[in-house]
């Protein structure tokens, strides 16, 4: 009986430790990393690498640039680990970094374009960046678009529709639908009210729905 209780106690303790390890929050992992636990950062990177990459990719429309900027984002996380406090939700902190890096990249690109426009370059034919087909949400979307003509066309038209959104609406849409942030988190990232974020999302969805319908795509088509 005594041995049974010992084994039960040990099993409960082991299970509790396993659950704590499995369910560690982003915030706890970040604090652990700040204390020198490299594995904590690896877990954070594994959790957020894909959604951060997708958010950046849909913002800059270049796989190569998105990979470069994603590495910059996580380098900033490493560099600022000691200044992170649990008062800030990790995803809010992370996407604020990602958003600022995308804005900086856009400004650098715009500056380069302006310099090009002021130079005499008659042979210059394309400065609009890569084609929209390069803008993919993730590997699953790529596979689906390659295997199905209908979804490839929908994906293409959706990319065009996203380009037609005002920047603040496109940003909210990407943070919500690609990175799956809550409205509260998005509001914290972009520095506005939660109701404003919801309003921007509503307008974005209405615009995209109208845009897709103008291309012959209905909600029923998307649900099939």
> What is the mean pLDDT, run by run of 10 residues, along the chain of 224 residues?
36 42 84 95 95 90 91 95 88 94 76 39 38 39 54 79 91 90 93 95 91 79 58
In angstroms, rounded to a whole number, what is the distance separating the alpha carbons of residues 148 and 95? Answer: 32
Q: Contact at 8 Å (CB) between 215 and 181? A: no
Residues ≥6 apart with Cβ < 8 Å to 45:
74
Taking each helix axis from N to C terminus, what angle separates 90-117 and 63-79, rounded to the nearest 10 degrees? 130
* The pLDDT of residue 114: 39
Backbone angles phi, psi at 204, to 5 degrees: -65, -45
* The pLDDT of residue 155: 76
Delimiting residues of CATH 1.10.10.10 domain(s) in the chain: 137-224
Q: Which tokens is 30 given?
A: 């970040």
Q: Does domain 137-224 have CATH number 1.10.10.10?
A: yes
In angstroms, rounded to a whole number, what is the distance separating the alpha carbons of residues 207 and 200? Answer: 11
* Cα within 13 Å of Cα(78), Cβ side: 11
pTM for the model stands at 0.65
Delimiting residues of CATH 1.10.1740.10 domain(s) in the chain: 26-118
* The pLDDT of residue 145: 45
* The pLDDT of residue 84: 92
Q: Which fold has domain 26-118?
A: Rna Polymerase Sigma Factor; Chain: A (1.10.1740)
* The pLDDT of residue 216: 83
Task: Provide the terminal-to-terminal Cα distance of the chain, rounded to the nearest Å.
Answer: 59
């Amino acid at each position: 009986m005594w041995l049974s209780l010992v084994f039960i106690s040990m099993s409960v303790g082991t299970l509790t430790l396993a659950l704590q390890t499995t369910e560690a929050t982003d915030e706890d992992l970040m604090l652990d990393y700040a204390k020198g636990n490299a594995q904590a950062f690896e877990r954070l990177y594994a959790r957020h690498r894909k959604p951060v990459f997708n958010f950046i990719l849909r913002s800059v429309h270049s796989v190569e640039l998105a990979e470069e900027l994603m590495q910059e984002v996580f380098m900033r996380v490493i560099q600022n680990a000691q200044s992170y406090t649990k008062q800030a939700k990790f995803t809010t902190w992370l996407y604020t970094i990602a958003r600022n890096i995308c804005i900086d990249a856009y400004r650098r690109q715009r500056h380069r374009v302006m310099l090009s426009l002021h130079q005499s370059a008659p042979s210059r034919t394309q400065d609009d960046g890569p084609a929209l087909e390069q803008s993919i949400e993730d590997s699953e979307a790529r596979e689906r678009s390659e295997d199905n003509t209908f979804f490839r066309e929908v994906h293409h038209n959706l990319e065009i529709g996203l380009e037609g959104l005002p920047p603040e609406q496109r940003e909210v849409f990407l943070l919500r639908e690609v990175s799956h942030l809550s409205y509260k988190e998005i509001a914290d990232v972009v520095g506005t009210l939660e109701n404003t974020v919801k309003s921007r999302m509503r307008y974005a969805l209405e615009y995209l729905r109208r845009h897709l319908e103008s291309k012959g795509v209905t909600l029923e088509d998307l649900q099939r």
